[in-house]
Structure 1
Amino acid sequence: MLKFVLNDAATCVRNNVREFSLNALRLLPHLPQLSPYDVNLQLRENEFVYNFPVDDGIVHSYETNQLGSNSPCEDSRTEASLLHRNGFICGIFDGHGGAACGQVVSKRLLRYVSAATLPRQVLKEHIKQNCNSQSFLKCHNDNVDFVNEIKPIYEHSFQKYIKQLAQTAQRDVSSELVHAFLQLDEALSHEALATIDVRTMGVALSGAVACLVHLEGLQLHVASTGDCGAVLGVLDPQTNQWHPKKLNIEHNADNMAEVKRILDEHPKEEHETAIRNGRLLSQLAPLRAFGDYRYKWSLDIMQKKVVPLIGEQAMAPNYYTPPYLTARPDVQQHELSVNDKFLVIASDGLWDFLSPSEVVSLVGEHINSKKILEPMRLPEGNPTLQQISDQLAERKAGLTRKPIDQNAATHLIRHALGATDYGIEHSKISYYLSLPKDVVRLYRDDITITVIYFNTEHIAGLRDGTSAPAA
């Protein structure tokens, strides 16, 4: 019970973080003031940047970063290129009840999706050649593998999945994404019940929400389960202003359609208990998630297999007609245009501080500011001395906007923690980064961000037919 009280307190504080002043932070016990150097070390510790070859496809590059609050951090991230066709896939996963489910899903979901969206004939040919779960994608930021005792279990589930795929007709990408989410989630259940191993059971009983991006040709698909967020940065060529386009739907108690869906799936007698105090069965904030099988398994399974292992506290209150939870994602599809410049996906730790509009504005300003750091290029033709002088003056004026961080994800984290009406305040960031481990979750959640930059010239070529998708 204490755990849920603390979670509620943390949620209350973070939901009102915009009204939470720096003066309130100063009421805490005195904390050491970090130097700018120490702040930068912490903010940049988990930075990662990947630049694609200029003519390689629709994605120019991506930048990502992560700042933990929980120990260990419960967020995960994965990015990869699709093999056997030109495409990109990435995801952000926000775990809860421990890091296990988020870490496992972040590595496995991209493999399921990469196989599902491959043409069936190509998939069948690879199955004949004894392919494995890493045969369909190339990860760019993944230096950790599963322990040897667990890898065969996960590989067996993957082989079963792709053999079933090969026997079904090809579906559209949205349907394949939904199917991949549900099949992986079902595999988590089967693996836990078949082995009754503390590790597989730990994955099934902890949980994770997810936001996955699948990009092939001009078609962008965003599949989301839970409350991570995705926003597209669109540049208006007429006004040169940035506009956000939200590409996900949050599954929480603020979403009335989602609340109605859950209530409609259960008897009228449970309408007062299925969702209470903004939480599923008064406990779980996201209303869709991977894992969390203590809200999905039947009463019989819970009583016979989970309670003997975990104890009576494994049973949620008012648990009468499961399942109460699903991993089914909402999928939004968007066809890219030359005005679509970047996509930001992030865990809810970022959205607690910044709105989609603020995020797009900050990344847009960051793009413009970074141009100051590029070598100066003279105008084409025979520029006059006045033209050169004007260009030098413009660059000199732009130095005042020179970004502190090269990485846009770090730029967003810095603004999330340190922004005030008068700019970034170092002492505010220092306080957030100095909070003790047993307190920090009350004030900020794990923050994980990936910023994907699109190749505008390649998009233009595909739209006017002068470029063909790479094989």
Structure 2
Amino acid sequence: MLVFTVRPRVLRLLPRELIKATSRTLKKESSSQLMLPQQGQARQVSSTTRTPKKRRNMRNLNVAFVSGILVVASYVSITNQGKNYLSDTGGAAVGAASNLRNGVSGTLGAFFSTSSQDGSSQSSEKTGVLKLSDEEISARLRRMEESYTVNRGKGVVRYDVSQLPSNNPIEDDRAERMVEVRYRDTESPSDKNKAITDPGAGEVPADWMLWGVFDGHSGWNTSATLRDRLLDCVIEELSNVFRLGDRGPAARTVPSSDAIDRAIKAGFTKLDDQIVNKSVEKLFSGTPKVSAPELLMPALTGSCALVAFYDTHLRELRVALTGDSRAVLGSLGADDKWTATALSVDQTGSNPSEAARLAAEHPGEPNVVRNGRILGSLEPSRAFGDARYKWAKDIQDRVCRQFLGRTPPPALKTPPYVTAEPVVTSARIRPGKKDFLVLASDGLYELLSNEEIVGLVVRWMEKTGMVPPPSKSLKEKLLGGRGQSSTLTPVIDTSDASTKSSQRPPIRRSSQPATGSRPTYLLEDSNVATHLIRNALSDGGSPDNVSMLLGIPSPLSRRYRDDLTVTVVFFGERDGEGSDTALSVQLTPDATLGLQQPKPKL
């Protein structure tokens, strides 16, 4: 039985005529006889025999009951309208294609940018586990994939990106930038700072190429901020250290390796300072309270950041990592053996070097790292945002009291405990030797090892003709005579010992490795990043496992798989394309690789 209590103030908001009409109807119905028990007997009572006080009480009760029904009906109507609105906006988002923005960045020359713009709406419907068809599986895996052909001939020929959400909306993000620059042409490193008297003479065109993968946690706000701003901040700092010559029109001089690393780190830390500290200072200075969510959410949520910077003139690749995403370089050695080299170290409380660093910075605090987590709670030891581990307790109390936020961690004593300063590593790239780079959030490395990832990319390259497949005799040699048509070519992990020790092994769901007729990989995607995601979910080549994991709806799916973001960069130099080709990054189908046009992202 439902009982509604409606105050007179609420009744005045209801249509007077509707209340009168309803009251008349109820009076007419109340004239019928009602059977009320009294002392074990049934007694007939007519509404016409009630006292005036009883009639007045009954009329008030009737009005209250009808008013309650009207309130419930209004709520249901508004809720349905809200559902329809969300459905409409979701449909609009499906039809929206991703943007390519063109512009000019000061003296850096032509500037091209791509990024993830996920506009999916949160569904209010409750759905069960779905049984998906093969077409539905592929559609979900390919919904957020993009393939880019780089027609420059300077060291990068193509890169593929793909994302698969588990959270709704996805907490991962990604972005790319390509900037045209010009260097002084020198005969030897000793005279690289030599002045050029003839404007335009002795200049070498080159490109700066940057790729970013941002793994958010506790929300999407921080990763979205990194998508929009981090690569631009790094480019600005790099522009300051790659100085323009005093007499050359636009040619730049090459700084030291340490100066480049410091510039990248400065881009990271300056942006995090704006996110965490400048935002709350602005709020305390008198910004209207209504602006608090916009200013504070990127600070209260968090994100890891993995950025790769490639200079086509120096042919040097730098990888900067804040958090536990990972970069792996695939290379073909002189003995025709592929190698996997990790260019980043997972930065978590489980990493002994990170735990030792935090213990040294916070002496006398035994709980600074507990159970592999910072203050027993946060897993990454370096991250953007996560202000609960950076703000002093009085600031957190004030933010929580006046605006929004959470109570500080119980073990908080001497913040900050978490930093956004990245660890920067470098590697020489051989564009003519088919080197490639895999950048991914930790959701991929939870399911695949470094060797498996490189082996899957190599198999995809063999299928698409980017590299010739190994001869039968070579494959038998590499496999030690145990070769099967469904097995991957072995890959050697050449990462150093300290890097290997800091990386968690992938999760194995199956108790036995794939054997017999069961393939060890799936090969059906034209986008190599999607190819990696499909195989990560397959647990050794099982389509049923892919279907099972994709069929679990959000938010339940987060218990079984993470958001996945993958970027794969192919280094190389195509014949017939020179450095004078205009800078262009194109979403183009490649007939030789059977590529499809990228689909709009939800």
2:434–2:570: 8 Å Cα contact kept in structure 1?
A: no
Corresponding residue to 1:331 among 424, 440, 450:
424
Corresponding residue to 1:211 among 275, 287, 306:
306
What is the 5 A alignment of 1:443-458?
A: 443-456=560-573
User: How far does residue 469 in structure 1 lie from its aligned partner after superposition?
Assistant: 12
User: How far does residue 455 in structure 1 lie from its aligned partner after superposition?
Assistant: 1.2
User: How far does residue 358 in structure 1 lie from its aligned partner after superposition?
Assistant: 0.6
Structure 1 stretches (4+) deviating beyond 6 angstroms?
121-125, 168-171, 466-471
- The structure-2 alpha-carbon separation of the partners of 1:180 and 1:123, relative to structure 1 and needing over 3 Å to count, comes to farther
Query: Partner of 2:236 in structure 1?
Result: 115
Q: Secondary structure at the match of 2:318?
A: strand
Query: Partner of 1:296 in structure 2?
Result: 390
Amino acid across the alignment from 1:103: A
Give unpaired runs (5+ residues) of structure 1. Answer: 1-28, 126-167, 375-399
Corresponding residue to 1:415 among 500, 511, 535:
535
User: How far does residue 341 in structure 1 lie from its aligned partner after superposition?
Assistant: 1.4
Q: Distance in 2 between matches of 1:469 and 1:261?
A: 48
Query: Partner of 1:99 in structure 2?
Result: 220
Residue by residue, what CA displacement relative to the aligned partner does 1:277-322 show, whole Å, maximum 9, x if unpaired?
22111111111100111111122322223443235x4311111111
What is the 5 A alignment of 1:55-454?
A: 55=153, 57-85=154-182, 86-119=207-240, 172-196=259-283, 197-216=292-311, 217=313, 218-238=315-335, 240-268=336-364, 270-271=365-366, 273-310=367-404, 313-337=406-430, 338-339=432-433, 341-371=435-465, 403-420=523-540, 424-454=541-571
Q: Distance in 2 between matches of 1:280 and 1:171?
A: 29
Amino acid across the alignment from 1:184: L
Give unpaired runs (5+ residues) of structure 2. Answer: 1-126, 183-206, 247-254, 284-291, 469-518, 584-602
User: How far does residue 372 in structure 1 lie from its aligned partner after superposition?
Assistant: 8.9
Q: Secondary structure at the match of 1:60?
A: strand
User: How far does residue 169 in structure 1 lie from its aligned partner after superposition?
Assistant: 11
Q: Distance in 2 between matches of 1:235 and 1:314?
A: 52
2:152–2:582: 8 Å Cα contact kept in structure 1?
A: no
1:204–1:292: 8 Å Cα contact kept in structure 2?
A: yes
Q: Distance in 1 between matches of 2:228 and 2:219?
A: 16
Corresponding residue to 2:133 among 28, 35, 45:
35
Q: Distance in 2 between matches of 1:345 and 1:365?
A: 18
Q: Secondary structure at the match of 2:435?
A: strand
- The structure-2 alpha-carbon separation of the partners of 1:117 and 1:30, relative to structure 1 and needing over 3 Å to count, comes to closer
Amino acid across the alignment from 1:177: I
1:372–1:402: 8 Å Cα contact kept in structure 2?
A: no
Q: Secondary structure at the match of 2:524?
A: coil
Q: Distance in 2 between matches of 1:316 and 1:114?
A: 35
1:226–1:289: 8 Å Cα contact kept in structure 2?
A: yes
Which TM-score applies when normalising by structure 1? 0.71
Q: Distance in 2 between matches of 1:103 and 1:226?
A: 16
The two structures, once aligned, show a CA RMSD in angstroms of 3.1
- The structure-2 alpha-carbon separation of the partners of 1:88 and 1:263, relative to structure 1 and needing over 3 Å to count, comes to same
Count of matched residue positions in the alignment of Structure 1 and Structure 2? 362
Q: Distance in 2 between matches of 1:367 and 1:169?
A: 36
Q: Distance in 2 between matches of 1:170 and 1:247?
A: 16
- The structure-2 alpha-carbon separation of the partners of 1:307 and 1:275, relative to structure 1 and needing over 3 Å to count, comes to farther
- The structure-2 alpha-carbon separation of the partners of 1:373 and 1:299, relative to structure 1 and needing over 3 Å to count, comes to closer
User: How far does residue 33 in structure 1 lie from its aligned partner after superposition?
Assistant: 2.2
Amino acid across the alignment from 2:324: D
1:119–1:170: 8 Å Cα contact kept in structure 2?
A: no
Q: Distance in 2 between matches of 1:433 and 1:170?
A: 44
Amino acid across the alignment from 1:418: S
Greater alpha carbon shift after TM alignment, 354-363 vs 84-93? 84-93
Residue by residue, what CA displacement relative to the aligned partner does 1:173-223 show, whole Å, maximum 9, x if unpaired?
111111111111011123321333211101111110010000003010000
Q: Secondary structure at the match of 2:403?
A: helix
Q: Distance in 2 between matches of 1:202 and 1:124?
A: 42
1:231–1:246: 8 Å Cα contact kept in structure 2?
A: yes
Query: Partner of 2:145 in structure 1?
Result: 47
Q: Distance in 1 between matches of 2:158 and 2:349?
A: 35
2:213–2:305: 8 Å Cα contact kept in structure 1?
A: yes
Residue by residue, what CA displacement relative to the aligned partner does 1:379-411 show, whole Å, maximum 9, x if unpaired?
xxxxxxxxxxxxxxxxxxxxx999410110011
Q: Distance in 2 between matches of 1:355 and 1:171?
A: 31
User: How far does residue 122 in structure 1 lie from its aligned partner after superposition?
Assistant: 6.3
Q: Distance in 1 between matches of 2:465 and 2:241?
A: 44
2:166–2:555: 8 Å Cα contact kept in structure 1?
A: no
1:223–1:332: 8 Å Cα contact kept in structure 2?
A: yes
1:100–1:202: 8 Å Cα contact kept in structure 2?
A: yes
1:343–1:453: 8 Å Cα contact kept in structure 2?
A: yes
Q: Distance in 2 between matches of 1:80 and 1:467?
A: 18
Q: Secondary structure at the match of 1:200?
A: helix
1:189–1:204: 8 Å Cα contact kept in structure 2?
A: yes
- The structure-2 alpha-carbon separation of the partners of 1:121 and 1:32, relative to structure 1 and needing over 3 Å to count, comes to closer
Amino acid across the alignment from 1:453: F
User: How far does residue 31 in structure 1 lie from its aligned partner after superposition?
Assistant: 3.7
Q: Distance in 2 between matches of 1:71 and 1:123?
A: 46
Query: Partner of 2:186 in structure 1?
Result: none
Amino acid across the alignment from 2:412: Y
Q: Distance in 1 between matches of 2:363 and 2:581?
A: 51
2:222–2:298: 8 Å Cα contact kept in structure 1?
A: yes
Query: Partner of 1:385 in structure 2?
Result: none
